[in-house]
C-alpha cells in the first residue's frame, strides 16, 4: 500500500540516523518502527508495583501548625505568643 506521511522533524532525524546505521531503506525502518509501536500500544498495560513509604513517629509537635500566622511568626523569630 502506498500512502503519504508527514513526519515531524525530530522523527525524520531519528529515522535517518537509524537508516544509516543499519544501512537499510527508509521503508523498512518505518515499517519496523510502526510494527513495534503498534505491538506495544496493543499490549495490555503493565501493572506497576505500588509505591509505599514508611511512616515513623516524629514525636510531639513543637508548634501548632493549624494557625499559619503563628507558625510563620515562630519560624521567622518574631514575638511568639
Q: Residue-wise pLDDT tens for the chain (81 aa)?
A: 888 989 999 999 999 999 999 999 999 999 999 999 999 999 988 888 999 999 988 888 777 778 888 888 878 876 555
pLDDT the model gives residue 39 = 94
pLDDT the model gives residue 77 = 79
Query: CB-based contacts of 25: which residues, under 8 Å, 6+ apart?
Result: 19
The CA distance from 66 to 53, in Å, is 24
pLDDT the model gives residue 63 = 77
Amino acid at each position: 500500500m502506498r500512502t503519504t506521511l508527514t513526519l515531524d522533524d525530530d522523527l525524520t532525524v531519528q529515522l535517518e540516523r537509524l537508516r544509516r546505521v543499519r544501512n537499510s531503506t527508509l521503508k523498512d525502518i518505518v515499517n519496523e518502527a510502526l510494527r513495534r509501536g503498534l505491538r506495544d500500544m496493543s499490549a495490555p498495560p503493565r501493572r506497576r508495583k505500588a509505591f509505599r513509604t514508611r511512616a515513623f513517629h516524629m514525636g510531639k509537635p513543637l508548634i501548632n501548625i493549624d494557625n499559619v500566622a503563628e507558625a510563620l511568626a515562630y519560624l521567622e523569630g518574631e514575638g511568639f505568643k
